[in-house]
Amino acid sequence: MTHQEILRLLPYEKPFLFVDDLLEVTEDGSKGTFTFDRNLDFYRGHFKENPVTPGVILTECCAQIGLVCLGIFLMREEELEKPNILIGMSSSEMEFLKPVSPGEKVTVESKKIYFRFQKLKCEVHMYNANKELACKGTVSGMLKKSAHG
């Protein structure tokens, strides 16, 4: 499965798609990038004079690149099609270390902790443009094919 095929299968679209490029996907993890557009609506109200990316959005970016892209890759044998994918994040534990500003490009790297019984758990790290750790943590979710596919 190519990186473009994985991106095509993501169940998101703008403005809630937080993956620009998928750089690497293996059985053990994934790596990708996203640039936070200065015009994203949440910046207008998240700290009036000095906007930063909300932690929930950083977590979502980590989950999309580090969990969902990897999960699609791991389930590739099931011949997934976009309407057939059901994904639900079940937990996250994140630590935020540096702010991510509007216009900033981040890189997310994930490492699979386990994938069993359709539950995937990953360790994720997000780096800013200066290669400094912006946030880290664990995310997990359930991935399966829809019975209605």
The catalytic residues are 46
Asked whether 119 and 133 are in contact (CB, 8 A), the reply is no
Nearest to 84 by CA among 144, 142, 149, 141: 149
Q: Is 60 helix (H, G, I), strand (E, B) or coil?
A: helix
Give dist(CA 75, CA 143) in Å, integer.
8
Token pair 């590739």: residue: 76
